[in-house]
Amino acid sequence: MRQVTIDGITLHLARPAGLDLRWVGREDLVRQVLAAWLVLDERDRPMTPRLVGRPGVGKTTLAFAAAKRLGREVYLFQATMDTRPEDLVVTPVVGPDGAIQYVASALVTAALRGGVCVLDEGNRMSEKSWASLAPLLDDRRYVESVLTGLQLPAHPAFRLAVTMNEDASTYEIPEYIHTRLQPQIQVDFPEADEELAILRENLPFADEQLLAYVTAFLQAAHDADEPFSVRDGINLARYALKLARSDGAPALARVAEALGRVLGEDAAAYLPDPTP
């Protein structure tokens, strides 16, 4: 395990995320994220963009892909409603020899090593958890570990992006945090050609007819303001392919069945007509 010693206290560091994510979609969104992370001169500091949109539209993939373009280590921290301030900074664990060890979170590891952290679904965290990050998000650029008594400064190369879902199962972010999470980058449902390209990227083993059919379903659902995302489309097509493989039927003939299992029977209203 990698580690660093600060003021006589050894911190064990997290490992970067080894995800193989590639952004397929609007290149201007990547440009917006990278622009937020630019530093113009020694008096400037990087911004912390928040990527906002419905679940499944690719916010995490966008942030991760932009981070990879910087050529640095990328870390992913998944926020939940149970995330505590210490979870974001340093937590104690029992080591192999029975002694207490201090483990830096993925976010703090990125800050110390000059990597990039994607704080995923940030508006699932409480205000108390966000308060622990306030100094990291402004000109101070450090985070404090109450557990160890350490003040942990961020490396100049450290960058952070926060994703936020537009749904009801989230906390209201306090205004003093919102002002630190700028700019807001809206990630919407993709256009038909982009959605088809995303399906191709994730399902290279699927035939074009199936992917076009699922794309048409998704576009109809978007027009009706349904929450079905391209992630749902990927799961729909994947399950239809698996059902077809299990009984030798064409995948298109299994879309309706797969749809009922994946998204519910009501979603069938948006299947292209005629249904195969």
> Is there a domain that residue 13 lies in?
yes
How far, in Å, CA of 29 to CA of 51, rounded? 10
> Is there a domain that residue 218 lies in?
yes
Residues 257 and 218 in one domain: yes
Helix (H) or strand (E) holding 49: none
Residues 135 and 9 in one domain: yes
**Residue finishing a domain among 125, 156, 186:** 186
Q: Decide: helix, strand or coil at residue 152.
A: strand
Per-residue burial over 218-248, b if 16 or more Cβ lie within 10 Å, else e, is: bbbbbeeebebbbebbbbbbbbbbebbeeee
**Residue finishing a domain among 161, 186, 211:** 186
> Is there a domain that residue 19 lies in?
yes
pLDDT at 82: 93
Task: Tokens for 39, please give them.
Answer: 């530093």
Average pLDDT of span 141-169: 92
> Is there a domain that residue 114 lies in?
yes
* Sheet with 184-186, side-by-side order of all strands: 74-78, 116-120, 159-165, 50-53, 184-186
Q: Decide: helix, strand or coil at residue 185.
A: strand
Task: Tokens for 252, please give them.
Answer: 């298109």
Q: What is the DSSP string of 189-256?
A: PPPHHHHHHHHHHH-TTS-HHHHHHHHHHHHHHHHTT----HHHHHHHHHHHHHHHHHHT--GGGGHH
Task: Tokens for 68, please give them.
Answer: 């990879």
Task: Tokens for 180, please give them.
Answer: 């630190």
Q: Decide: helix, strand or coil at residue 92.
A: strand
Task: Tokens for 212, please give them.
Answer: 């076009």
Residues 115 and 235 in one domain: no
Residues 204 and 159 in one domain: no
Residues 82 and 213 in one domain: no
User: Could you report the per-residue pLDDT of 10-64, keeping only the tens digit for each?
Assistant: 999 999 998 878 888 889 999 999 999 999 998 999 999 999 999 999 999 999 9
CA distances from 181 to 88, 116, 186, 200, 255 (A): 17, 15, 13, 33, 41
Residues 17 and 110 in one domain: yes
% of the chain exceeding 90 in pLDDT:
86
Average pLDDT of span 176-199: 95
How far, in Å, CA of 142 to CA of 11, rounded? 16
How far, in Å, CA of 228 to CA of 117, rounded? 27
Task: Tokens for 134, please give them.
Answer: 């306030």
How far, in Å, CA of 74 to CA of 197, rounded? 25
pLDDT at 168: 65
Identify the band that residue 276 occupies on the pLDDT scale cut at 50, 70 and 90: very low
Residues 132 and 263 in one domain: no
The number of C-alpha atoms within 13 Å of 208 and in the hemisphere containing its C-beta is 1
Q: Which domain holds residue 86?
A: 3-186
Total of domains in the chain:
2
Residues 23 and 93 in one domain: yes
Q: Find the CATH number of the domain harbouring 99.
A: 3.40.50.300
> Is there a domain that residue 276 lies in?
no
Residues 153 and 76 in one domain: yes
Residues 12 and 103 in one domain: yes
Residues 173 and 203 in one domain: no
Residues 83 and 172 in one domain: yes
Contact 91, 85 (CB under 8 A): no
